[in-house]
């Protein structure tokens, strides 16, 4: 005969919340610290099966509300508070970087802190930084963010490019100016030397392919 399921206690739910937040924080390169306010469920019906969630698919924060959804035997929802910190390394500009700078190791410095307190898109991987090109001025000591960088294989708006036109039995090339920016594989518009606007696919940091 099957044994009846045990009702979850406040400690059980606190442990579930801690495990949930640790799993969510695994995307950050650091060691998470979690503190959970025990959920107030004394007046709730006994719960045997539950799931933890972040309201409105919210992102992780240093202080946040966490949801508890009881699934059985009687559904209910409750909320509690939790604190989360992820100590790890991030990178800042070691000097003022102008737009269009190809980042070298001497251009960055490592800092340690709570990664959740940084703006979304902050770069934590040094290998991602080196060779990237800045798309805006970055002040000394400012954290380096994805939106301020582009791949060295990408093309920037206004950049001089080589148009490579390919068709059945022929290949031709000419100069042009990118009217849009894009990573390899993206379709962008280019103004050819003749003044004509054409669409093509970014091949690398200098070349746009136009199929005829």
In a domain, 4, yes or no: no
Q: State the pTM of this model.
A: 0.70
CATH assignment at residue 100: 3.90.1210.10
Per the structure, the complete domain to which residue 171 belongs is given by 160-211
Are 62 and 121 within one domain?
Answer: no
Q: What single DSSP character describes residue 25?
A: G
DSSP assignment string, 17-63: HHHHHHHHGGGSSEEEEEEEPPP--TTSPPEEEEEEE-GGGPPP-SE
Q: pLDDT digits over 80-109, tens only?
A: 999 999 999 999 999 999 998 999 999 999
Last residue of a domain, one of 31, 53, 86: 86
Q: How many structural domains does the chain have?
A: 3
Are 125 and 60 within one domain?
Answer: no
CATH assignment at residue 185: 2.30.30.760
Q: pLDDT digits over 60-80, tens only?
A: 999 999 999 999 999 999 999
Q: pLDDT digits over 141-189, tens only?
A: 999 999 999 988 899 899 999 999 888 887 888 999 999 989 899 999 9
Using the structure block, give the residue that is written with the tokens 């972040």: 54
Are 128 and 146 within one domain?
Answer: yes
Give the pLDDT band (50/70/90) at residue 5: low
In a domain, 5, yes or no: no
């Amino acid at each position: 005969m099957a044994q009846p399921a045990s009702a979850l206690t406040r400690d059980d739910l606190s442990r579930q919340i801690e495990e949930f937040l640790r799993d969510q924080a695994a995307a950050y390169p650091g060691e998470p610290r979690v503190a959970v306010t025990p959920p107030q469920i004394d007046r709730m019906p006994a719960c045997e099966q539950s799931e933890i969630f972040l309201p409105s698919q919210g992102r992780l924060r240093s202080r946040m509300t966490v949801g508890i959804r009881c699934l059985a035997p009687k559904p209910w929802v409750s909320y509690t508070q939790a604190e989360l910190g992820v100590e790890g390394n991030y990178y800042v500009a070691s000097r003022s970087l102008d737009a269009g700078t190809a980042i070298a190791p001497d251009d960055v410095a490592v800092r340690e802190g709570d990664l959740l307190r940084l703006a979304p898109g902050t770069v934590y991987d040094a290998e991602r930084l080196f060779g990237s090109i800045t798309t805006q001025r970055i002040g000394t000591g400012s954290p380096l963010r994805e939106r301020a960088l582009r791949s060295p294989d990408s093309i920037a708006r206004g950049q001089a490019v080589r148009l490579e036109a390919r068709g059945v039995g022929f290949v031709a090339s000419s100069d042009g100016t990118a009217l849009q920016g894009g990573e390899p594989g993206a379709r962008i518009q280019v103004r050819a030397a003749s003044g004509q606007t054409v669409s093509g696919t970014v091949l690398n940091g200098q070349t746009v392919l136009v199929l005829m």
